[in-house]
Structure 1
Amino acid sequence: MDNLMLNNKIYLEGEVISELQFSHEMYGEGFYTFYFEVPRLSSTKDKLFVTISERLISEMEIKVGSQLIVEGQLRSYNKFINGANRLILTVFVRNIAFCEEKSRNPNQIFLDGFICKQPIYRTTPFGREISDMLLAVNRSYNKSDYIPTIAWGRNSRFCKNLEVGDNIRVWGRLQSREYQKRISDTEVMKKMAYEVSISKMEKVNKESDDPKTDETCEKADGKNQDEKQIS
């Protein structure tokens, strides 16, 4: 497998919750999108946006309620919406199958990328330590995917010493998060954000390419059980 495919891998198990919609065609190949719901250990479910080639599903009947396993990459692109550019994240599927038996960890992602904005460290009103980072993950044809990530606890403190251009590897899960944006003094709008919640991370030493690992990393969600990592 090409190295640029190894630096961005995602594995999901979940349920189709929307009809497939035609998205676009490229070199005679049609692509469709749908929303995919992946459960967490808590009662929360992540609602994720998926893009798939018609060639992968030509012999499958996929409908709302279908239980699937999807494997692929997390991609990003800019879309002009309501007068402004927005960063859209989608799971680009490379393999798909019906899910006969669910595993203990239905949401896994691995990224090997470069910090393209200075990490933002903060403490929530409840005392939780958080760091936000934007990773640039290289793709074929000189393209890059820009992936928002979030680190917690000791991982977030580890991020305070990272700089733009640092090469890091992260393991975790892709999550959706609903939030409210105030658009006037009396009106708020519900919006959805997507980000990678980091459970493990390491910095790659540029000279030797040996990873320097934060050995005391915490799980991204205190309710998560041990993860079977993809690497």
Structure 2
Amino acid sequence: MIDKVIENNRVSIIGEIVSEFKFSHEVFGEGFYTVDVSVDRLSELTDVIPLMVSERLVDVSEDYQGRLVEVSGQFRSYNRHEGAKNKLVLSIFVREWEEVEENLESGKTNQIFLDGYICKAPIYRKTPLGREIADLLVAVNRPYGKSDYIPCIAWGRNARYASTFEVGGHIQIWGRVQSREYVKKINEEESEKHVAYEVSVSKLEYIDE
């Protein structure tokens, strides 16, 4: 059962470690740490994505900055309480970690597959230049009654297709994990720069049940 559930959320990336390990939390005596990895896009831009790593998988006392790693695992979310608000925090939960000498598969540095359910009505819109976009929030089940809530963004005909999906609909998504900077306005004079993490959709299917 657990293996089957893990199959519904699979991500693998190859990239360069660009931060130190930072303690996150402990579960039953096992410490978990976050570390950032920079992943190249084909467009020569990069995505900087947080990893969640167990101290039993990697020597977290070592400085890995500048090293190339290949990791696989799951894209996970949790709600962090900030005052009266909840913030959705996303990271790749690492199950396998391997140092690599060079990236021989430049087209396969960032791949994700999700099998989940639409949990909010899709938001369809067009940019000022006429590009079609749809924002989706997908719930992916995990063992023991938990779920991960993954923001996804679709483009073009995929966006138009996704705009027809109903809440509770079963979908499968293939794409990549991306980071995106945005500016949040606090008041008339102040604004803050934030980073959002989401899945950029390359292919999606609606599963009729």
TM-score (norm 2): 0.94
For the residue of structure 1 that corresponds to 2:56, the secondary structure is: helix
For residue 121 of structure 2, what is the aligned residue in structure 1?
118
Shift of 1:185: 1.1
Given the alignment of the two structures, is residue 47 of structure 1 paired with residue 48 of structure 2, yes or no?
yes
For residue 25 of structure 2, what is the aligned residue in structure 1?
24
* Alpha-carbon distance between aligned partners in 2 of 1:127 and 1:109, rounded to the nearest angstrom: 27
TM-score (norm 1): 0.86
CA shift digits 1:81-135 (9 cap, x unpaired): 3542100001000000002231122000000000000111100111100000000
For residue 219 of structure 1, what is the aligned residue in structure 2?
none
- CA gap of 1:53–1:191, structure 2 versus 1, over 3 A, is same
For the residue of structure 1 that corresponds to 2:187, the secondary structure is: coil
Shift of 1:62: 4.7
Q: Unaligned 5+ residue runs, structure 2? A: none
* Alpha-carbon distance between aligned partners in 2 of 1:119 and 1:125, rounded to the nearest angstrom: 19
For residue 131 of structure 2, what is the aligned residue in structure 1?
128
Given the alignment of the two structures, is residue 205 of structure 1 paired with residue 208 of structure 2, yes or no?
yes
Q: Unaligned 5+ residue runs, structure 1? A: 207-231
Amino acid at match of 1:138: N
| TM-align CA RMSD | 1.5
> Which 4+ stretches in 1 moved above 6 angstroms?
none
Given the alignment of the two structures, is residue 162 of structure 1 paired with residue 171 of structure 2, yes or no?
no
Shift of 1:48: 0.6
Q: Which moved more, 1:76-85 or 1:93-102?
A: 76-85
For the residue of structure 1 that corresponds to 2:20, the secondary structure is: coil
Shift of 1:61: 4.5
Aligned mate of 1:139, from 139, 142, 152: 142
* Alpha-carbon distance between aligned partners in 2 of 1:58 and 1:78, rounded to the nearest angstrom: 27
Matches within 5 A, 1:70-85: 70-81=71-82, 83-85=84-86
Amino acid at match of 1:147: I
Amino acid at match of 1:143: K
